[in-house]
Amino acid sequence: MASFDIILQTRGPLDPHGEPSDFVSHYTGIIICTNDETGEETKVGKIAALRIHAGLAHNAGESLFDVCDSHSDELHFLHTLLYEPDCFHFRDEITDRFDAMQSDLLVLDYVVLSPKWRKLKLGLLAVRKMVDMIGGGCGLAVSLIAPVRRDAAKLLGIPKAWLPRNGDKAQRRAAAVKLRGYYRRMGFSRLGRTPYYALPMNQMVPTASELITPTDDV
């Protein structure tokens, strides 16, 4: 028998005169498998997320556009997609659809697993735990749900064997559709015609037991 845990790491600058992007926190979670008989621990996966501290930026008088734009193209896009221009709250249509009253945004970057531990919904359980651990005070969690590119192994600091091949376009699309089916079980829904999916943080999320219960839709 085995049990699984996430070891969560983050860091933040102490410089009182930092950059606008300092209002974005980075989180990395290492998924550990513990052999219940021997106590041996093995790294079996990795998960990463970002949090945009819109509330803190507002209190500090920092432009939220500058916070996102100085960080990355992805956060620039998400700011344009989700937030009212020159404001610190979500667009009215986003607020109405998701009842997203809190202004912070959780961005789930990726989750990867060793092939030995796939098909157990371990990745989905890791996503749920990350939302529980660092999503408090966020109005939304969003993710671009797609297989991680195989050439990203070095960038992510993981073994290349952890990333699926998904060779041709049809295979990659089928893998993405399957992943999105898993995330829908948790409550994610697509943001318009974009590749992003959003989870309203004020709703009840299925329990871990409910997420691993077999269904016919995924």
Q: Please indicate, yes or no, if residue 141 is contained in any of the structural domains.
A: yes
Q: Is residue 87 part of a domain?
A: yes
Q: Comparing C-alpha atoms, which of 210, 209, 212, 145 is closest to residue 179?
A: 145
For residue 64, being part of any structural domain is answered with yes
Q: For the chain, how many structural domains are there in total?
A: 1
In this prediction, residues 138-163 reach a mean pLDDT of 89
Within-domain flag for 217: no
pLDDT of residue 131: 92
User: Within a domain: residue 49?
Assistant: yes
Q: How do beta strands 138-144 and 104-113 pair?
A: parallel
The predicted model scores a pTM of 0.90
In the predicted model, is pLDDT for residue 216 greater than 70?
no
Q: Using CB atoms within 10 Å of the CB of residue 188, give its burial: 0 to 12 exposed, 13 to 18 middle, 19+ buried.
A: buried
**Which residues have CB under 8 Å from 176's CB, separation 6+?**
145, 146, 147
| Residues of the domain holding 197 | 2-11+18-212
Question: What is the band of 217 on the pLDDT scale with cuts at 50, 70, 90?
Answer: very low
Looking at residue 214, what is its pLDDT?
Answer: 65
What CATH number is given to the structural domain containing 56? 3.40.630
Q: Is the pLDDT of residue 31 over 50?
A: yes
- 56 in any annotated domain: yes
User: Do the domain assignments include residue 101?
Assistant: yes
Residue 218 lies in a domain: no
Does the pLDDT of residue 50 top 90, yes or no?
yes
Residue 166: per-residue pLDDT: 62
